[in-house]
Structure 1
Amino acid sequence: MSIRNSSKSSLFLIELIIAILFFAIGSAVCVRAFVKAHDLSMRAKDLSFASAQASSAASVLEYTDGSFSSFSTYFPDAEERGDAFLVYYDADQSLCSGNDAIYTMQIKISDEDGMRHAMISVAYTGKEPLYELPIRFLPSAKRRWLTMQPRRKSFLSTGITSIVLIFVLLCLLTFAVLSVVSARADYKLSEKNTTRTTEYYEAENTANDILLKISTVLSTHAGSSAYLDDVRTDLDGTDGISFSSASQLQYYVTINENQRLFVSLLLTNASSDTSSDTAGLYQIKAWKVENTHEWNNDTPVPVLGSDEMNELLSEE
């Protein structure tokens, strides 16, 4: 009887040691997965924040005179240092002074060939940028809009330890996988939002380049007796420009395969004394994003398969 009890105790101790070993290995895997999920979540948060702030700064620059006084109206804690504007954010991603800054947004502005250029970058203070957004646009004085466009019982038995261990490890692994998948999905979404912001401003940069060419042609022919005819001769068919009427032109700039930027201008009758003021030569009727993708209600919805799951869990 004593020998049998001793044999059972030995088996239980061996099983317990093996269970502890596997639990340690499983815990290490789960901890690594949780750390990766946390890292992805923080990167997604930073990327979304940087993209949103850069887009906000770009809008302020485009629709004000671009001076520091106008910029500081929307970013009251901004600083002007040399040829750059600096905006600081604390750990909660709120505006703050430079002494408490964790993030820094830097805006450098220059004027070249009648266009205003700006490079907007958001970074951890003193480190490499998280996101950079180059923009170019006509100064607001040269842009005139027709209309403004306005989210208990204990017992000792061999086998029970292994069952409990398997259950606990399965729970930990399930939570770990869900955390990684969720964090990776958030990061992918942040990357898509950032790409979308960059694509839009690249298209807007191109649209502003075309607008500058139009302004130059309008200024050249201002005061001409056949002003509108001369303008149409020079611009029609250039850079995708078309005329819907004698005094109204439009053009499109591709953003991506599903969207494009539509611009419509109303030309005004120009006299020779308006040639130096390009704002009086046209009015912007429309400046908006249009969808080019046709929705098909029979389009199948992709389901997450094994390949996609492996990609989500793979190392970058």
Structure 2
Amino acid sequence: MERTPAKRSSLFLLELMIAILFFCLASAVCVQIFVKAHTTSRGTQELNTALEKVSGYTELFLADALTEDTEVFYDADWQECSKDEASYEIVIRVEPDGKLLHGTFTVQRLSGEQPEEIYSVETDRMTGTERE
């Protein structure tokens, strides 16, 4: 029985192609994991910054320094800017409710047709006087 070198080399090529296919699949999975991690990181960073900004405005509201409806616009780097250049908006609504002032603080991403809410919080503050 004589072996032919063609069969041996074709088996080696098949094994090599399977190994290359395996590494291609593994690298595709790794790239997907890195992209997902990057997306999650950006979303978390955006949420943390939104929370930090709203926290400051909530403190102003509780200290009676913010008593009316306000809209504040921020660019992509979270620097205050005009409405035309804005990537984010903080909407502050203040509503009297008897001896309370009710504040709603909402951060929105301004992308596309409709703003997308990132974070929202509501709080009340006692005024001591009846308001309508």
Counterparts of 1:107 and 1:29 in 2: how far apart (Å)?
43
Q: State how 1:58-69 maps to structure 2 within 5 Å.
A: 58-67=58-67
The equivalent residue for 1:227 is none
**SS of structure 2 residue aligned to 1:104:** strand
Structure 1 residue aligned with 2:39: 39
Q: Within 5 Å, which residues of 2 pair with 1:142-161?
A: none
Aligned to 2:115: 127
**1:89 Cα deviation from its structure 2 partner:** 1.2
TM-score, length-scaled by structure 1? 0.36
Structure with greater proportional helix content:
1
Aligned residue runs from structure 1 range 172-191, under 5 A: none
Could you say which residue in structure 2 is the equivalent of 1:111?
Answer: 96
Q: Which residue identity does 1:115 align to in structure 2?
A: L
> Which residue number in structure 1 is paired with residue 57 of structure 2?
57
Q: Per-residue displacement from partner, 1:256-309 (whole Å, max 9, x unpaired)?
A: xxxxxxxxxxxxxxxxxxxxxxxxxxxxxxxxxxxxxxxxxxxxxxxxxxxxxx
- Match of 2:75? 90
Where structure 1 has 5 or more consecutive residues not aligned to the other structure, the ranges are 69-83, 143-211, 213-316
Q: What do the CA deviations read for 1:120-144 (whole angstroms, capped 9, x no partner)?
A: 00111232311111011024xx5xx
> How many residues get paired?
123
Q: Distance in 1 between matches of 2:71 and 2:21?
A: 54
**Whole-angstrom distance in 1 between the partners of 2:37 and 2:55:** 27
What is the CA–CA distance in structure 2 between the aligned matches of 1:97 and 1:26, rounded to whole Å? 46
Whole-Å Cα distance in 2 between the matches of residues 137 and 64 of structure 1? 9
Q: Residues 128-178 of structure 1, C-alpha deviation per residue, up to 9 Å, x if partnerless? A: 311111011024xx5xxxxxxxxxxxxxxxxxxxxxxxxxxxxxxxxxxxx
- Matches of 2:43 and 2:66, distance apart in 1: 31
1:201-244 per-residue CA deviation (whole Å, 9 max, x = no partner) reads xxxxxxxxxxx9xxxxxxxxxxxxxxxxxxxxxxxxxxxxxxxx
Give the deviation of 1:8 after TM superposition. Answer: 4.7
Answer 1 or 2: which has greater strand percent.
Answer: 2
Any unmatched runs of 5+ in structure 2?
A: none
Please tell me the residue identity of whatever aligns with 1:47: L
Structure 2 distance, partners of 1:33, 1:135, is 39
- Return the index of the structure with the highest Cα Rg: 1
- List structure 1 segments (4+ residues) > 2 angstroms apart after TM superposition: 6-12, 64-68
TM-score by length of 2: 0.81
